[in-house]
């Protein structure tokens, strides 16, 4: 008689968090905010759901992504001359940091 011993496999469950931005012109861009991985069958009260560190990381990446896109759009609109509609010259190329509720966004 032959008996087979089945080894329990350690499969991973993976959730990819992706943000999709659709502009007024219909152009789409997707940005990966992060990945949450768990071993299948090893759920305990401690590792149920998204932990605090993962949630902070995802929230910060989301905030950074939204702020950068909004600032880019704002700067493009501000460069247009109100009188003739042409782009005004850029006089300063320094990077700026913006403080938000979730921390600084560069």
Question: How far apart (Å, rounded) are the C-alpha atoms in residues 29 and 81?
Answer: 28
pLDDT of residue 49: 85
How many Å from the N-terminal Cα to the C-terminal Cα in the chain?
A: 67
CB 95 within 8 Å of CB 105? no
CA atoms within 13 A on the CB side of 4: 3
Instruction: Assign 17 a pLDDT band (cuts: 50, 70, 90).
Output: very high
Q: What are the tens digits of pLDDT across the range 69-82?
A: 888 888 888 888 88
pLDDT of residue 1: 46
Angle at 7 between CA 4 and CA 12, to 5 degrees: 150
Q: What are the tens digits of pLDDT across the range 25-79?
A: 899 999 999 998 888 777 777 778 888 999 999 999 999 999 888 888 888 888 8
**DSSP code of 82?**
T
Domain boundaries, the chain: 11-39+50-65+97-106
């Amino acid at each position: 008689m032959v008996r087979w011993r089945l080894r329990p496999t350690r499969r991973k469950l993976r959730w990819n968090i992706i943000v999709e931005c659709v502009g007024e012109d219909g152009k789409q861009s997707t940005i990966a905010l992060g990945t949450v991985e768990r071993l299948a069958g090893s759920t305990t009260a401690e590792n149920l759901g998204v932990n605090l560190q993962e949630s902070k990381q995802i929230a910060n990446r989301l905030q950074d992504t939204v702020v950068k896109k909004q600032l880019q759009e704002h700067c493009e609109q501000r460069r247009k001359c109100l009188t003739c509609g042409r782009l005004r010259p850029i006089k300063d190329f320094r990077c700026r940091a913006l403080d938000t509720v979730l921390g600084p966004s560069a």
